[in-house]
């Protein structure tokens, strides 16, 4: 008989780590919206799912005394999108969280889960990249903080070590107060993976002030730093040059959702539009 | 709009309550005692010889009760052309072709065992393109084509990949073309698409210990399933019972016969046990059935007055691996090849070609959306070529009373008016289109026509009977999979017998042991055929009631009328409630006259004639035509290529609106399904492996609520159908026929680009715009 | 390796032993015979299985039965009864928003979740909320109208109850 999946609910971080260590091919599960269909469909099913939604401290969105925002790993995408602080101070994240999946899915999926899947099209990754978020994690070797820029390694791959559990993402207070514009193309209007997406965020307290994140055009979600520099230096008048730079930064492939050439071209179109929209705002 | 007491009004769905409360039971909701789970072993190759099938390891899995293969069941099946076997015998012809099936105590055991069936294949060259399929050196998908059983009006050609070829020859095309002032030729392409019913295919079967077979199936055609199962397995109709629970959408994909032979084969191996097979969504995409692809080449010759004088139509259909049902799509597209227009000189060929793609079958529109994609763009392109307005050009050339179709059939004043539909849409577009910054806007129009494609003897029958309390039971065997047959049946019965609609109950979970015969729920034929049968049966019931009442009231039958559950003597004061009549009337002295009131009736199309085998000329090849037109308004984002559909205006000549809410539902639903195929749908195959690349809802997109245009408008012309129930004709399929072509025409109007390959994706639009700019 | 759970389904506490890989959808359908929630894709892409988990719409195929331990589930069967239908059920009937009916339970549950959160949604908000619930029959137009009508009735009902 086929080996059957094991499910365990952890009530503390320590318990989660222990449960994970017990069996090879364990996986941590938050919303499970990506994990469960994949576990069903493929031959690489995990042997154990360690459910982290029963860990109280992971289920909170907290504003820290420093003004940083901490989003626990079990907080749903919908809760993040609707959270007043997120909407007011970190609108880029609210925008991207609202674009992810469907309404029932957003009620279940989590932001931390979304980035741990490390899909090139992970919507919330675009915002977290622009906002200089940090991933808090803990593993057998102890706790550590991973800057979001070092978090994505390849399609489906993160810099988390085996057994390491992502506890939360933190967004620094200095990233607050900006404006953001999300350009996102998909094959239909409702609920679709982005064929290509560009997030432009302007953060008054940061350098560079302009942040450009690209989705579905590289092995991982990524920033387009040359474009950011150009926009910082020359403002909206650099729109075309920034678009060229972002297109050059893209490494798209051909797949069933679109061709590399179209994706690259659309990076330019979407960024130009975002610059215009924010410039005019 | 003419209105009766019930017909023509917005009567609420009679099966609505069970659907909004969760009470409605679909196949997978039915609990079958000690049911076994089936899993199909499918070919991973698009084309291969099957050397050996070894089931020994599969049989050793705990919980496995049966494994069936093509060696056990080498029986042929197919509705018109028996070109398929239950399981592959010597050869597999598409990725997904069933090779064997397993029945086990759990789905896990069935999956495990299926994975352990060892099949030795010898891959053969695969064919994916119909244009290559008709070449002399093409690999043959069915080398035994000449040996298959086939109905007389389908013409497979042995030694080729052609499973049907219909020729239409009217007038003298070649001579007329020479006289044309302008000649326009274009080629159009439609890919394979899938129906995507929300409920996937599923079937269950049990053979009891006495040898009687029961089949429960999500199907459009219980009686046809029974008939074809009996032919396949050599069973008597008397020993096979087919039952259909609620069906969660079909759109043609559940017509004919589908999974039933597979579960029957397994059930025969495990007498006494139910065996159920429910496809996964992935299997639904590549291993159920799809809509055929089409390559259409049209040549149009026009004279100086803007009349088409010669029209050639060459349709190459991608029937996929098996043409059992699809051959009739080829035929229907042949005798309808000219669409909604009168062409005096016609050279038409509709050719079905086998490929190693998924199996083509019926899909809402039955070939009509595909040929209209070509015809309706061609009409616009010709109009532009000769400098005429596309609407005026259509009105000049369209069919109507006194005009002749491509098969020479003369239309009369009862045949429906496409000209009026065109004018309605044109009227809705009389205001200039408002501009929108950064967008290119345009309007497009396309017409539609479709006849029911069915054998000349396709019948529907009904049974009406009264309960003791005066409730009328209406037994109909068409499938109501959402289109509203049950409600329409109740309306006709209530209208004819002048009953409150609450007093009518439509019994409609068809069971071939108990229900009256119905050929199939296809071809937009149920309102028309079942409606007619109900009106006839109601007349018979009325006659029985009046015969008894006449004696009770002492009044001649001619003076009697039915009013709200009473038979009334219109010439006197006497009346008698039907509750006193429906089981027979008992006089005060105790003697009884009459008896339980009940009547059966049927409808069979009248006077249909075969097509001439050489030219397809026929005075009455089909029962009726439904005409219509749709207009769309779109906004194109020139930088991304995205098309936003702002407004759709639809108008059809339906003869008589039977139910206002339901006909709007059919129109909105068809339009949005048409937007799906027009804008986003395509089953994509990897041409190296033959595997579907998007066999899931992540990458095969159908429209969502956010894809629905802000304005959806529907109106109806009502030119009564002579043989229609109270004048009604079919509408269910027609609503998705013209939408993609209207979009393509709007795209041309908006930005001067013409895309001849469906669907109109943003990428294609963007590429075409860039090409146009490059040409300057 | 059965997992004992206690879950409140449509107001009634159920004590069950579920398999670790059993979905909430399968638990509802196979163990409790609540077949209103449908399996349309088993990967969260169609919405036919939507139920409320602690008052919020979720795809029941993407939730494990074990995860529902200690939580509250509402399915279409827990809504209204003939004669006392929920405003959404009434509106779906009145607006002819039902065709084959396969998507209807999930559609109604998603709409209910939205209206509990946002009693007066715009049409765009309704479209967005139900865009994860696929319907192949209706073209959605009558569904959108039904949800708005139900919202209005629910608002009127809420006002009526106020002192």
Sequence ranges of the domains in chain C = 3-78, 87-161
Residue C67 is nearest to which of A51, A102, A189, comparing CB atoms? A51
For the stretch B381-439, pLDDT in tens is 999 999 999 999 999 999 999 999 999 999 999 999 999 999 999 999 999 999 999 99
Measured in Å, how far apart are chain B's first and last C-alpha atoms? 51
Q: Scanning every residue of chain A, which has its alpha carbon at the shortest distance from the alpha carbon of C3?
A: A7
Instruction: Give the span between the Cα atoms of B501 and B651, in whole angstroms.
Output: 29
- Does B438 contact chain A (CB < 8 Å)? no
Q: For residue B522, give both structure tokens.
A: 């296809």
CATH among 3.30.465.10, 2.40.110.10, 3.30.70.890, 3.40.50.150 for A59-174? 3.30.465.10
> What DSSP line would sit under B82-128, residue for residue?
--EESS-SSEE-STT-EEEEEEESSHHHHHHHHHH-EEEEEE-----
Residues from chain A that touch B767, judged by Cβ atoms under 8 A, are 262
pLDDT at A1: 37
pLDDT at A43: 62
Q: How many CB atoms lie within 10 A of CB B151?
A: 13
Q: In 3D, which of B183, B188, B263 has the Cα closest to residue B218?
A: B263
- B16-23+457-603: CATH topology is Aldehyde Oxidoreductase; domain 4 (3.30.365)
When pLDDT is averaged across residues B301-325 and rounded to a whole number, the result is 97
Q: What is the mean pLDDT of chain C?
A: 96
User: Is residue B566 predicted with pLDDT exceeding 60?
Assistant: yes
Given an 8 Å threshold on Cβ–Cβ distance, is B642 in contact with A185? yes
When pLDDT is averaged across residues B674-683 and rounded to a whole number, the result is 98
What SS3 state is found at A4?
coil
Instruction: Give the span between the Cα atoms of B498 and B738, in whole angstroms.
Output: 38
Q: Scanning every residue of chain C, which has its alpha carbon at the shortest distance from the alpha carbon of B18?
A: C101
Q: Determine the CATH number of domain B290-454+609-775.
A: 3.30.365.10
Q: State how far the alpha carbon of B692 is from the alpha carbons of B194, B478, C112, C158, in Å.
A: 11, 33, 36, 51
Given an 8 Å threshold on Cβ–Cβ distance, is A256 in contact with B694? yes
CA distance B23 to chain C (A): 7
Instruction: Give the span between the Cα atoms of C148 and B667, in whole angstroms.
Output: 21
Residues from chain C that touch B10, judged by Cβ atoms under 8 A, are 96
- Does A105 contact chain B (CB < 8 Å)? no
Q: Residue B6, CB half-sphere, CA atoms under 13 Å: how many? A: 23
Which of B21, B279, B508 should one mutate to test binding to chain C, selecting the residue with the greatest count of C CBs within 10 A? Answer: B21
Measured in Å, how far apart are chain A's first and last C-alpha atoms? 61
Number of residues assigned to chain B = 776
Q: What is the mean pLDDT of chain B?
A: 97
Cα four-point dihedral sign B126, B129, B133, B137:
negative
Given an 8 Å threshold on Cβ–Cβ distance, is C40 in contact with B705? no
- Does B699 contact chain A (CB < 8 Å)? yes
CA distance A262 to chain B (A): 7
Domain ranges of chain A: 59-174, 178-280
- Does A188 contact chain C (CB < 8 Å)? no
Domain ranges of chain B: 16-23+457-603, 33-123+201-278, 290-454+609-775
Q: Which chains neighbour C (Cβ–Cβ under 8 Å, 3 or more pairs)?
A: A, B
Contact B347, B382 (CB under 8 A): no
Instruction: Give the span between the Cα atoms of B714 and B652, in whole angstroms.
Output: 8
What SS3 state is found at A267?
helix
One fold for A59-174 and A178-280: no
Widest Cα–Cα separation across chain A: 65
When pLDDT is averaged across residues B506-534 and rounded to a whole number, the result is 97
- The number of C-beta contacts closer than 8 angstroms across A and B is 49
Name residues whose C-beta falls within 8 Å of residue A203's C-beta, 6 or more positions apart in sequence: A130, A131, A174, A175, A177, A178, A209, A211
- Does B706 contact chain A (CB < 8 Å)? yes
CATH among 3.40.50.970, 3.40.50.720, 1.10.150.120, 1.20.120.610 for C87-161? 1.10.150.120
For the stretch B36-52, pLDDT in tens is 999 999 999 999 999 99
Q: State how far the alpha carbon of B175 is from the alpha carbons of B344, B379, B755, in Å.
A: 12, 21, 31
Instruction: Give the span between the Cα atoms of C155 and C147, in whole angstroms.
Output: 12
Instruction: Give the span between the Cα atoms of B243 and A87, in whole angstroms.
Output: 55
Q: Residue B629, CB half-sphere, CA atoms under 13 Å: how many? A: 28
Q: Spell out the CATH class of C3-78.
A: alpha beta
For the stretch B84-95, pLDDT in tens is 999 999 999 999
When pLDDT is averaged across residues B659-672 and rounded to a whole number, the result is 98
Instruction: Give the span between the Cα atoms of B517 and A123, in whole angstroms.
Output: 55
- B33-123+201-278: CATH topology is Aldehyde Oxidoreductase; domain 3 (3.90.1170)
- Does A231 contact chain C (CB < 8 Å)? no
Residues (pLDDT < 70) of chain C are 161-163
Residue B12 is nearest to which of C35, C96, C130, comparing CB atoms? C96
Instruction: Give the span between the Cα atoms of B385 and B669, in whole angstroms.
Output: 34
- Does A259 contact chain B (CB < 8 Å)? yes
Instruction: Give the span between the Cα atoms of A147 and A189, in whole angstroms.
Output: 33
Question: Looking up tokens 């849409």, which residue turns up?
Answer: B425
- Does B439 contact chain A (CB < 8 Å)? no
Q: What is the ipTM of this complex?
A: 0.98
What SS3 state is found at B225?
helix
Instruction: Give the span between the Cα atoms of B424 and B652, in whole angstroms.
Output: 10
Residues from chain B that touch A259, judged by Cβ atoms under 8 A, are 763
A67: left (phi over 0), alpha (psi -120 to 50) or beta: left
Instruction: Give the span between the Cα atoms of C158 and C163, in whole angstroms.
Output: 10
pLDDT at C34: 98
pLDDT at B1: 53
- Does C81 contact chain B (CB < 8 Å)? yes
Distance of alpha carbon B74 from the chain centroid: 29
For the stretch B233-262, pLDDT in tens is 999 999 999 999 999 999 999 999 999 999
When pLDDT is averaged across residues B298-308 and rounded to a whole number, the result is 98
**Backbone torsions φ then ψ of A264, nearest 5 degrees:** -60, -45
Residues (pLDDT < 70) of chain A are 1-3, 42-44, 280-281
pLDDT at A279: 86
Contact B753, B770 (CB under 8 A): no
| CATH superfamily ID and name for A178-280 | CO dehydrogenase flavoprotein, C-terminal domain (3.30.390.50)
Which of A99, A104, A105, A190 should one mutate to test binding to chain B, selecting the residue with the greatest count of B CBs within 10 A? Answer: A190
User: Is residue B760 predicted with pLDDT exceeding 60?
Assistant: yes
Q: State how far the alpha carbon of A153 is from the alpha carbons of A239, B271, B422, in Å.
A: 29, 56, 58
Q: Is the peptide bond before B463 cis (omega within 30 degrees of 0)?
A: no
**Backbone torsions φ then ψ of A74, nearest 5 degrees:** -100, 10
When pLDDT is averaged across residues B207-226 and rounded to a whole number, the result is 98
One fold for C3-78 and C87-161: no
């Amino acid at each position: 008989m086929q080996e059957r999946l094991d499910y365990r609910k952890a009530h503390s971080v320590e318990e989660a780590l222990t449960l994970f260590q017990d069996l090879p091919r364990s996986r941590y599960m938050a919303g499970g919206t990506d994990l469960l269909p994949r576990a069903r469909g493929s031959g690489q099913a995990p042997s154990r799912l360690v459910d982290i939604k029963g860990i109280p401290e992971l289920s909170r969105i907290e504003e820290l005394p420093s003004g940083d925002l901490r989003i626990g790993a079990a907080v749903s995408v919908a809760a993040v999108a609707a959270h007043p602080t997120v909407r007011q101070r970190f609108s880029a994240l609210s925008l991207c969280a609202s674009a992810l999946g469907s309404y029932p899915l957003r009620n279940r999926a989590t932001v931390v889960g979304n980035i741990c899947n490390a899909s090139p099209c992970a919507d919330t990754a675009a915002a977290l990249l622009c906002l200089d978020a940090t991933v808090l994690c803990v593993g057998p070797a102890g706790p550590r903080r991973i800057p979001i820029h070092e978090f994505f390694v390849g399609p489906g791959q993160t810099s988390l070590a085996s057994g390491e559990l992502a506890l939360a993402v933190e967004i620094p207070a200095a990233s607050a107060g900006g404006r953001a514009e999300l350009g996102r193309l998909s094959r239909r209007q409702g609920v679709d993976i982005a064929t290509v997406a560009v997030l432009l965020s302007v953060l008054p307290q940061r350098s560079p002030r302009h942040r450009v994140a690209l989705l579905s055009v590289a092995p991982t979600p990524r920033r387009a730093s040359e474009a950011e520099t150009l926009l910082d230096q020359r403002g909206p008048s650099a729109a075309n040059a920034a678009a060229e730079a972002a297109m050059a930064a893209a490494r798209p492939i051909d797949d069933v959702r679109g061709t590399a050439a179209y994706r690259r071209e659309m990076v330019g179109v979407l960024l130009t539009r975002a610059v215009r929209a924010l410039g005019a705002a | 709009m003419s209105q009766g007491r019930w017909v023509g009004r917005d009567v609420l769905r009679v099966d609505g309550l069970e659907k909004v409360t969760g009470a409605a039971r679909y196949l997978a909701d039915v609990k079958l005692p000690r049911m076994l789970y089936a899993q199909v072993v499918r070919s991973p190759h698009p084309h291969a010889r099957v050397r050996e099938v070894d089931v020994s390891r599969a049989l050793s899995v705990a919980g496995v009760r049966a494994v069936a293969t093509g060696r056990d069941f080498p029986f042929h099946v197919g509705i018109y052309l028996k070109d398929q076997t239950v399981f592959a015998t010597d050869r597999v012809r598409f990725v997904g072709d069933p090779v064997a099936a397993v029945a086990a105590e759990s789905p896990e055991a069935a999956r495990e065992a299926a994975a352990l069936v060892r099949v030795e294949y010898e891959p053969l060259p695969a064919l994916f393109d119909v244009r290559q399929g008709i070449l002399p050196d093409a690999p043959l998908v069915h080398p035994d084509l000449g040996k298959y059983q086939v109905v007389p009006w389908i013409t497979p050609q042995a030694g080729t990949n052609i499973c049907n070829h219909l020729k239409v020859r009217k007038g003298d095309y070649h001579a007329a073309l020479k006289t044309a002032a302008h000649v326009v030729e274009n080629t159009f392409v439609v890919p394979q698409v899938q129906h995507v019913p929300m409920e996937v295919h599923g079937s269950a079967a049990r053979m009891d210990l006495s040898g009687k077979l029961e089949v429960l199936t999500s199907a459009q055609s219980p009686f046809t399933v029974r008939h074809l199962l009996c032919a396949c397995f050599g069973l008597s109709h008397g020993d096979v019972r087919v039952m259909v629970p609620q069906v969660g959408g079909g759109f043609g994909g559940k017509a004919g016969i589908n999974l039933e032979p597979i579960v029957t084969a397994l059930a025969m191996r495990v007498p006494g046990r139910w065996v159920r097979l429910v496809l996964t969504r992935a299997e639904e995409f590549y291993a159920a059935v799809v809509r055929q692809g089409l390559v259409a080449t049209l040549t149009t010759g026009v004279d100086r007055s803007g009349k088409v004088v010669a029209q050639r139509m060459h349709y190459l259909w991608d029937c996929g691996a098996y043409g059992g049902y699809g051959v009739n799509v080829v035929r229907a597209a042949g005798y309808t090849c000219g669409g909604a227009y009168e062409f005096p000189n016609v050279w038409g060929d509709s050719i079905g070609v086998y490929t190693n793609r998924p199996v083509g079958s019926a899909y809402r529109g039955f070939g009509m959306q595909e040929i209209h994609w070509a015809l309706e763009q061609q009409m616009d392109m010709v109009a532009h070529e000769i400098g005429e307005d596309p609407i005026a050009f259509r009105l000049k050339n369209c069919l109507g009373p006194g005009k002749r179709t491509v098969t020479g059939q003369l239309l009369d004043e009862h045949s429906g008016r496409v000209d009026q539909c065109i004018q309605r849409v044109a009227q809705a577009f009389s205001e200039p289109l408002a501009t929108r910054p950064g967008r290119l806007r345009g309007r497009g129009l396309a017409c539609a026509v479709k006849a029911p494609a069915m054998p000349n003897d396709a019948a529907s029958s009904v049974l009406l009977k009264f309960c003791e309390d005066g409730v009328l039971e209406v037994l109909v065997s068409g499938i109501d999979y959402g289109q509203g047959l049950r409600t329409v049946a109740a309306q006709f019965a209530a209208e004819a017998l002048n009953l409150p609609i609450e007093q009518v109950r439509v019994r409609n979970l068809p069971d071939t042991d108990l229900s009256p015969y119905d050929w199939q729920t296809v071809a937009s034929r149920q309102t028309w055929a079942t409606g007619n049968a109900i009106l006839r049966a109601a007349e018979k019931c009325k006659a029985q009631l009046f015969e008894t009442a006449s004696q009770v009231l002492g009044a001649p039958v001619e003076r009697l009328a039915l009013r709200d559950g009473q038979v009334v003597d219109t010439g006197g004061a006497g009346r008698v409630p039907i509750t006193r009549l429906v089981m027979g009337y008992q006089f005060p002295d105790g003697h009884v006259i009459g008896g339980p009131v009940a009547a059966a009736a049927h409808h069979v199309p009248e006077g249909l004639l075969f097509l001439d085998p050489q030219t397809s000329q026929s005075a009455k090849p089909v029962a009726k035509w439904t005409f219509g037109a749709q207009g769309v308004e779109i906004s194109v984002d020139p930088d991304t290529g995205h098309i936003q559909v702002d407004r759709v205006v639809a108008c059809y000549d339906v003869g008589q609106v039977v139910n206002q809410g339901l006909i709007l539902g059919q129109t909105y639903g068809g339009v949005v399904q048409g937007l799906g195929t027009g804008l986003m749908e395509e089953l994509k195959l990897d041409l190296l492996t033959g595997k579907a690349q998007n066999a899931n809802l992540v990458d095969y997109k159908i429209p969502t609520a956010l894809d629905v245009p802000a304005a959806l408008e529907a109106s109806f012309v009502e030119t009564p159908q002579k043989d229609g129930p109270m004048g009604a004709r079919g509408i269910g399929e027609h609503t998705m026929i013209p939408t993609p072509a209207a979009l393509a025409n709007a795209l041309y109007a908006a930005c001067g680009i013409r895309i001849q390959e469906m669907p109109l994706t943003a990428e294609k639009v963007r590429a075409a715009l860039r090409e146009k700019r490059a040409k300057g | 390796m059965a997992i004992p759970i206690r879950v409140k389904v449509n107001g009634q506490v159920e004590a069950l032993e579920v398999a670790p890989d059993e979905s909430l959808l399968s638990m509802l359908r196979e163990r409790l015979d609540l077949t209103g929630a449908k399996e349309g894709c088993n990967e969260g892409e169609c919405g036919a299985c939507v139920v409320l988990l602690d008052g919020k719409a979720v795809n029941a195929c993407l939730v494990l039965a074990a995860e529902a331990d200690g939580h509250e589930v509402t399915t279409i069967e827990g809504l209204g009864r003939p004669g006392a239908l929920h405003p959404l059920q009434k509106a779906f009937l009145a607006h002819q928003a039902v065709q084959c009916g396969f998507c209807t339970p999930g559609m109604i549950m998603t709409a209910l979740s939205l209206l509990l959160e946002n009693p007066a949604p715009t049409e765009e908000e309704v479209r967005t909320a139900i865009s994860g619930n696929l319907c192949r029959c209706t073209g959605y137009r009558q569904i959108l109208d039904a949800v708005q009508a139900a919202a209005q009735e629910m608002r009127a009902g809420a006002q009526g109850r106020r002192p």
